[in-house]
Structure 1
């Protein structure tokens, strides 16, 4: 019997025509969410950028919104728009300095940032911005709010410093703040963070301040919004994964909506490409994240808000290498990705052969990939020795994504900064994963 996935698979050869049919399938969607099965795979970053370039050039997309911290990404945004003081893309990426810095300080992102800047120079009025959706930058965002106000309203800056002093005991360690407030050692800073956001929202644009004019107020306001949501996030960390996950992805969805509203207020219709992990972009309702753990995610929230204007594209691999760490805040290493487990989505796609993309809305494909299966998720940490429990989740892929891109063998992302070593793993035993 003919395999319906082999019949439907569109080969990827590196040719310019590879994604022509996929762009037709995307149609008039205003939100194209492009996921990845790991945070350290070169092919995922390369092809995501390749497809994004075509969306900007051919379909008029106006922004890239990434799973990155707001102030760090905004420095890149200034550079690609010809603003700020950075001399090149690598310098513009310098604020990505905390773990895992390779996630955005890598050769593929630097190359895409150069292209984005060049496109804006060649096509004035069609520039596309680069923004961060994440909320890990509490300390930096607080500083950016105060810095902005010092330039436009010193009295308001004084009020902001007084409000944010609530965080001062913890320096740049927001986890310590969350622990202290959750266990009664510190009063929450929630009211102060909310009050500061409300005050900024009442301001009119300070058009005389900075090269971005009113955009500087927008930047500061988003930093204040981030501080409010991050305060809630770090308090929730000690109550369980589900609550903190939901706060984080809700913040990303709120930031995306705010970006759209701000852009449209300037008179330009907004179309946004979102870059994030499959776990954030594949609809959580079609995963045990949603049906078993009560977690929502960005892909679900975007589909719910813009159901007819959202297209979700996942990326997968069967085996190869990846840039990842053994544990949080440990050095990045080149690690070997084990072949997809028996019965997994990865093994099923491996059987098709080669690199390709699949339209999951084709009925024959939806029938095959609509069933519950194991799917692998590798973040910035990869633990192959406990891979089944650390990295696999039950999903229904055809409901999670609108299309999938599969690279059978992938290679590790190349960081801009030197890593501390290379980890070489032995061959996978014949009895993997049971070890029997």
Structure 2
């Protein structure tokens, strides 16, 4: 009973907090909290003030929450006036023909004059076009918190409703906790559909293309628990991608259907004209289900130029468009007509879609016309990238942790271990993701060697996991027994067959020879080469085990028939995850199921099995990697990338539980590209996001970066040294280089946004190179949301690949 009540209270709390947590839409901020709307608390409020009035949000004085609105009115010969009020963003549909009660709290210090609330409704049948009520009172100079209230009957013909706070006089006035009740029921200050673009910068609002080759800006994306957005590479109408929107079923009866932001058009050329939006859409129906709910296209007129105050912006509300004919599983053309009002206040037109769940719809290739003539939205010139300021660099130097650029010389006396400064960052982490901006920087590899050494010697890590599909068991045996030629074994690691990795593995072998230490184990987590998993299975199985050997021979034959990516039509596992339509893959998956089931049954029935439980688990693990790799080969490029990261996360989780001796959990150092160890990404779900879901804060994501130098790039079957492109202005590396420090680590987990670090919370260019030489070294990233910390080196040298 107690647990039930607690759950009910938690559910109620989440319900009340949900409007404040919704990521993509603005809300009115009636509570007058300073951090609302991404730190723009008066985003949907206008202001009229005499000179000498200062508007502040006071986080030390408030009636409830974490702050209040304070007006400082200058003492002058004439009383000073100030009004802060909402404009057109309040949903007028909710108040038409109803009694509206507005209340709020006021406080004064050293004040002389009047202060209070007011509310108004625009109505076409009034002489002045407006109904209005004021509740202004002569307040004492030092009034403690006092509640004010007014009522207004809103006519059914009202076209807009707003409310505000006012002060007239001199001194200080605080306002807090404004509340609206409609026919006695409290208005929930929730996210307002159509306001997504108001949370974006001017540059972000100008959608660069309507072909959906990239997702909308992160700040405008919907709550992922309601609607998910993905770039879909399977059968786009044109280009490489289409936009896939998937809405979840409503969490409770009567829940509002979300509006998904698609993009913005500047309205200057549209005023007074008929805008036609043309495009393509399709709506695959889930297997065995009826027709999904029909999506509805929407638009909203916005004002984004701060008219009416330095911060004021507003939305005129969402308008639903008549739905085009329902699409099917194939691409279908549609056309929408939007009469754009000749409104001098509107500056942008936001397009969206209201998507009832559960449903999926795909969109592609939008084009536009005005009064029958083709129209291509003009893009504003890109602003010049900002150079790091003195204050920004000073802040960065205060919060970063400098690191020695190289390890102490062998035999050098030292009171502290190498990289001991990283101890607070690593803390109690059980899995540490060690990233890299390229697979070819020898300098980053050397730093990661030192980090692995620190994790092993000082933090008790006993697992080293590499982003590799190679058969890593011979290398692990070398670490345990010293058997084998390490240089030859490292030569099988492909892009990681470098002198730097060889040096690390030789160190680990030497460490394992120390008396009394917990031996370090080595494994690969990737699954792109199912032949290697099959080879392990063939070597591990007893030659006289007819059941296993027969199945392995059948698996080898089936695997040879599974084409690699690009061989035959790719699978769409979004639509048929339970039954791939590829007969060759079906055969292989059936054989795997039969072998897995047979082994499990036999292990349970035999009193003294030939295999230990640990050997059985390892065999089944490699069988799973075979299954992963074969399925991966049949997926389109985009789905394949997401599937690969999910599988690597599954494998890391298994290794953390089974790689240690005697089945004990193991602390793991996971060596992979930045794109994999990141806990979020702009267009996919990386390995690190899965690991954060599995391990919580016990997973540490450490991105790596460098400023200048060279890296090794694959060229044919060899690697060559390539000069890295200089860090451009406006890139994260530009700020890092400005510190003039040779190496440092920046812990971003507890940073608070301020004027000196705003660049770190924004999307910027960041070096991002794979295996081959990259014609463009930099791509857009959100560093603060992708990594817990970043380790930076000023200089990079190319990795030394083994001959």
Same-fold call, TM cutoff 0.5 = yes
Greater RCO between the two (CA within 8 Å, min separation 6)? 1
For 2:664 and 2:480, how far apart are their aligned partners in 1? 16
8 A contact 2:658–2:666 mirrored in 1: no
**TM-fit CA distance, 1:263:** 4.0
Report the equivalent of 1:359: 747
CA RMSD of aligned residues (A): 2.7
Alignment of 1:150-299 (within 5 A): 150-151=542-543, 153-169=545-561, 174-175=563-564, 179-180=567-568, 182=570, 187-188=584-585, 189-202=588-601, 204=603, 215-236=614-635, 239=636, 241-263=637-659, 266-284=662-680, 287-289=681-683, 295-299=684-688
8 A contact 2:433–2:670 mirrored in 1: yes
* 1:377–1:201 CA distance, 2 compared to 1 (3 A): farther
**TM-fit CA distance, 1:332:** 1.4
Larger Rg: 2
For 1:11 and 1:125, how far apart are their aligned partners in 2? 30
2:501 to 85, 93, 109: 109
CA distances 1:225-264 after superposition (whole Å, capped 9, x unpaired)? 111111110000xx3x321011111111111111122246
**TM-fit CA distance, 1:406:** 0.7
1:140 to 532, 538, 558: 532
- SS of 1:357's equivalent in the other structure is strand
For 2:702 and 2:667, how far apart are their aligned partners in 1? 16
For 1:246 and 1:356, how far apart are their aligned partners in 2? 31
**TM-fit CA distance, 1:341:** 2.1
For 2:515 and 2:703, how far apart are their aligned partners in 1? 30
CA distances 1:273-311 after superposition (whole Å, capped 9, x unpaired)? 110000001122xx323xxxxx11111111111112111
Q: Identify the structure with the greater helix proportion.
A: 1
* 1:203–1:10 CA distance, 2 compared to 1 (3 A): farther
For 1:360 and 1:343, how far apart are their aligned partners in 2? 19
8 A contact 2:708–2:794 mirrored in 1: yes
Report the equivalent of 2:728: 341
8 A contact 1:283–1:400 mirrored in 2: yes
Scaled by the length of structure 2, the TM-score of the pair is 0.45
For 2:598 and 2:736, how far apart are their aligned partners in 1? 52
- SS of 2:710's equivalent in the other structure is strand
Does residue 27 (structure 1) correspond to residue 433 (structure 2)? The answer is: no
2:471 to 52, 68, 72: 72
Does residue 5 (structure 1) correspond to residue 391 (structure 2)? The answer is: no
* 1:168–1:269 CA distance, 2 compared to 1 (3 A): closer
**TM-fit CA distance, 1:268:** 2.6
**TM-fit CA distance, 1:15:** 5.2
8 A contact 1:209–1:216 mirrored in 2: no
For 1:323 and 1:264, how far apart are their aligned partners in 2? 33
Report the equivalent of 1:382: 773
Report the equivalent of 2:158: none
- SS of 2:541's equivalent in the other structure is helix
* 1:345–1:180 CA distance, 2 compared to 1 (3 A): same
For 1:197 and 1:94, how far apart are their aligned partners in 2? 32
Report the equivalent of 1:407: 793
Report the equivalent of 1:392: 778
Report the equivalent of 2:690: 301
* 1:214–1:181 CA distance, 2 compared to 1 (3 A): farther
Unaligned runs of 5+ in 1: 290-294, 418-436
8 A contact 2:433–2:699 mirrored in 1: yes
8 A contact 2:551–2:591 mirrored in 1: no
Scaled by the length of structure 1, the TM-score of the pair is 0.81
When the two structures are aligned, how many residues end up with a matched partner? Answer: 386
Q: Identify the structure with the greater strand proportion.
A: 2
Unaligned runs of 5+ in 2: 1-389, 409-415, 572-580
8 A contact 1:64–1:130 mirrored in 2: yes
**TM-fit CA distance, 1:348:** 1.9
**TM-fit CA distance, 1:195:** 3.2
- SS of 1:127's equivalent in the other structure is coil
Alignment of 1:54-133 (within 5 A): 54-69=454-469, 71-82=470-481, 85-86=483-484, 88-96=485-493, 101=494, 103-133=495-525
